[in-house]
Chain A
Amino acid sequence: MNMEKRKKIKSISYAKWGYIFLIPFFAMYVLTYFIPLISTIYYSFFENYMSGLKQIGPNFVALENYKSILFDSDLPKYAYNTMYIWILGFIPQITISMLLAIWFTSIRLNLKFTGFFKTVIYMPNLIMAAAFAMLFWALFSDIGPINNLLVLLGFEPYRFLSEINGNRGLIALMNFLMWFGNTTILLMAGIMGIDSSIFEAAQIDGASSWQTFWHVTLPSIKPILVYVLLTSLIGGIQMFDVPQILTDGNGGPDRTSMTMIMFLNKHLYSKNYGMAGALSVILFIVTAILSFTIYNNLTEKDVYSKHRGHKMKGGKNEK
């Protein structure tokens, strides 16, 4: 009793250090994220742009900017482009990553050189997206090496950068290459976290590989799948560097590869602060909802793992 009391007094006396050590983070957060967020919201309610050399506004217009960006601009088209390209890259990303994660963790397969393969497939994730896009632009141009190789192999040359599917396909391919290694590693960690006795039980019950995957692996890694899906979706909404550099900011033929952030970037450059503000706030709300879902997903998992913590630790000790 006495000990406990003393501990309590001690921890209270140290509490101020908790606050002191949090000051740099929160001060910098307010300075570089919170004030900008509030002023972005503020700008979104004002008409404020350059018409030629003449400055229009700032005049308070309430929700006018939101109305015009949602109903009178090409935003729906760019939202469609962004989602189209994201899905085009994400479907192969999640499929291949799932397959690789299962192979790498399979005891039955017992693959060699997995460390090497993981190192290679993760590498594109660290590449500067702008430089990667520049490289693809040079490689896939009409007279670039890829078309040289196509002709050499007896195919017709393809004008990747002048075709809608060529542009979207290249952007999706780059997104796929940059992210499937990362996703593989996350899914592997998820699969390795599953209690191995469940797999043994499934094996004893005579479950096939497919049944094991469908009824044991998939439900067990659902939180990580949700995490991968949502973070990738937020990443998709942020898509900018690759299409911006590949299409030089024009969005390819008829702006079919123009993404939402490229549109935002255009408004920022032309100093149309009202429209940029409204678009930012819309994107903020969407990403905030997605972030909140991730937060719930992560903390749910925490409770779950705490709940099972003892069991899992026990299992490890036995080995």
Chain B
Amino acid sequence: MKNKINKILCYFVLIVLSLMCVFSFCLLIINSTRAHSQIQKGFSFALGSFFGTNLKNVLSNGELPVVKGIINSLTVSSLSAALAAYFSVLTAFAIHSYEFRFKRAAFTFIMMIMMIPSQVTALGFVRWMAKLGLMDSLIPLFLPSVASPIVFYFMLSYMQSNLPKAVIEAARMDGAGEFRIFNQIVIPVMKPAIAVQAIFTFVAAWNNYFIPSLIIRSAEKKTLPILVAQLRSADYLKFDMGQVYMLVFLAIIPIIIVYILLSKYIVRGVAVGSVKE
């Protein structure tokens, strides 16, 4: 009996917390379907019929290059994900499968820099990119992903329990070169880990605001977070709230849809990097 009451209490708290998590997104979806005048009049839980109109308005907004923004964000995020996944597996493979003198030192070094945020070197980064002529370019937004210590650590953990050294030995016996072993044996074995980390890196790049806002200047290079910030600093009294909600919708909802489809793998992947069995 006591256990039953406890259980009901637990479910109650869980439902309240879940509602807190989805509430703001429900309001977002509702308001993205309503016209500016309806939103100004006051809130209602009823869905409106202006979703298409809002979408069309925000996509054709002359001051806000949203279509370009989506394309730029997709480009930067996909390239970041691909580079981080491939090169982190390569780095992990070097540490996992070879014996060399500075192996321990290399590993220790990567672990120590793992948590240092990129903001603290932003000044040097921006001025260095300016010297290299890479200001207002998308390249500085995805190229640094080649060195992703956290992804590396995840890959190494996964490799330690899923890539037996005997497999590599066997491939060598068959005369495969080291690059071929990596591309044709290691990469396929690592596919589940690559998928999870590619998603995490994609999302992180998609959401990244600080560095892009310092690098990007011209309108046609802007990514979605910069456009969101630009909209925030515009004079909102003149602004169409339907478009505000629609832009936020475009920035958030695609990620939520992908998350719902792949949540099983993502939630499982969260703990692996930091907590080893």
Contact = CB atoms under 8 A, between A and B. Distances in A.
B191 interface: no
A32 B115 contact: no
A171 to B, nearest CB: 14
Interface in A116-133: 117-124, 126-132
Interface in A284-317: 284, 287-288, 290-292, 294-295, 298-299, 301-302, 305, 312
Contacts of B248: 131, 134-135, 138
A50 B17 CA distance: 49
Contacts of B210: 240-241, 261, 265
B124 A186 contact: no
A201 interface: no
A287 to B, nearest CB: 5
Interface residues on A, range: 35 or more
A245 to B, nearest CB: 5
Contact of B21 (A32, A181, A299): A181
Interface residues of B, number: 96
Interface in A245-266: 245, 248-249, 261, 264-265
B275 A189 contact: yes
Tell me the dominant secondary structure on chain A's binding face.
helix
Contacts of A261: 119, 210
Given A32-B125, A43-B127, A124 B119 contact: no
B277 A193 contact: yes
Contacts of B225: 128, 130-131, 241
B98 A17 contact: yes
Interface string B244-259: 1101100110011001
B117 A120 contact: no
A118 to B, nearest CB: 6
A277 interface: yes
Contact of B120 (A122, A123, A280, A302): A280
Interface string B2-44: 0100110011011001101110100110010000000010110
Contact of B115 (A28, A36, A135, A294): A294
Interface string A99-130: 11001000011010001011111111011111
Contacts, number: 298
Tell me the dominant secondary structure on chain B's binding face.
helix
A17 B178 contact: yes
A186 B115 contact: no
A188 B272 CA distance: 12
A144 B274 CA distance: 40
B27 A145 contact: yes
Interface of B: 3, 6-7, 10-11, 13-14, 17-18, 20-22, 24, 27-28, 31, 40, 42-43, 87-88, 90-91, 93-95, 97-103, 106, 108, 110-128, 140, 143-144, 146-147, 152, 178, 182, 203, 206-207, 209-210, 214, 224-225, 228-229, 231-233, 241, 244-245, 247-248, 251-252, 255-256, 259-260, 263-264, 266-267, 270-271, 274-277
21 contacts: A17-B98, A19-B94, A21-B178, A24-B87, A25-B146, A26-B147, A29-B113, A32-B140, A108-B3, A111-B10, A111-B14, A122-B266, A128-B255, A130-B225, A131-B247, A135-B245, A145-B43, A238-B119, A268-B122, A268-B123, A301-B276
